[in-house]
Structure 1
């Protein structure tokens, strides 16, 4: 199992950038968040998880992995919509996944090409796929491509954590942009702690 890698360089920078975040880092300690290096698998997992609970996704994902062995665009395309729906996916999600498998087979999700691209270019590339919006693309930047400076405004948990951090009643785009600039170039590590803050009782 692989985790998003960071260390003292990143946390020391964030401590200096924002004392409140620094206090949260010291209190919460190191956060392990799993990553999936295979971009196609990560994309399918993200599509499968849209608008369902984490618990439900665990069940459906286990069925998908069992149904497609090895898990590749080719095996998904061979299995088709019927096999995907048998795993508990809706027809719409099955269609999104088949579109993603076709794109992967055609080189749209070529790992080497994408690795050489800037974050915004990757987002543009991914969001042309059916069922993939900006938030999904940003989560793939973090949890598959391991990009270091991602803070997603569209993520409710990140906004909630940031409100708790700074004591704001709501998070405007303007205020978010200020914190985004403050935490750069380690916005992803900041996001890990903002999620943890949002999850606290």
Structure 2
């Protein structure tokens, strides 16, 4: 990740015990796997740009592009990215559509037209609505911000294919509809984010 400040999503035995008591199948998987660490990016702007770069591409591809961006622009700040063109941003290996979104959002934040720090005072739903007003940010990207940056405790994203795949593997399902998903999500609440961390891991096993 280069110079980006990262940390682990904070949770401990109390959260693991609670989820295990609510869902013994998940509990057994968690006991088998031990503590799963999830790296997050606490800085809102950095995390948002990282999330946009990461849309629909592999983790490995994201890291390659991110390394190029750091080599080209130095620190990933709104001011830095706003002074470069979308073409220059695209030159790091992403689609033009993403590059334009990143350039536009950098400008909005640099000019104080979009105040990222205001998100801290909002509910999960309000954060999602506010972020979705930005070009190129859909619900999934907003939900990833809630977990991978803001450490909100109760996020399980229907829009995340790996989460759905993890759920299907965990419960031995061939298909998963929205209704079933919601039942599991409510079972994990108010600690859905920790369940998500394990479901991601299960999906890649």
Normalised-by-shorter TM-score class: over 0.9
Q: Is it true that 1:198 corresponds to 2:197 in the alignment? A: no
Work out which of the residue numbers 136, 144, 161 in structure 2 matches 1:139: 144
Aligned equivalents of 2:46 and 2:54: distance in 1? 12
Matched length: 199
Aligned equivalents of 1:184 and 1:168: distance in 2? 21
Q: Is it true that 1:15 corresponds to 2:20 in the alignment? A: yes
Q: Is it true that 1:177 corresponds to 2:182 in the alignment? A: yes
Q: What do you get for the CA RMSD once the two structures are aligned?
A: 1.3
Residue 54 of structure 2 aligns with which residue?
Answer: 49
**How much has 1:60 moved relative to structure 2?**
0.7
Moved over 3 A (4+): none
Equivalence map 1:1-201=2 (5 Å): 1-105=6-110, 106-111=112-117, 113-200=118-205
Aligned equivalents of 2:15 and 2:142: distance in 1? 23
Aligned equivalents of 1:127 and 1:71: distance in 2? 21
TM-score by structure 2 length? 0.92
Q: Where does structure 2 lack aligned partners over 5 or more consecutive residues?
A: 1-5
Contact 2:45 2:116 in 1 (8 A): no
* Residues 63-92 of structure 1, C-alpha deviations (whole Å, 9 max, x = no match): 111222232111101122232122122221
TM-score by structure 1 length? 0.94
Aligned equivalents of 2:201 and 2:116: distance in 1? 32
**How much has 1:134 moved relative to structure 2?**
0.3
Aligned equivalents of 2:158 and 2:86: distance in 1? 33
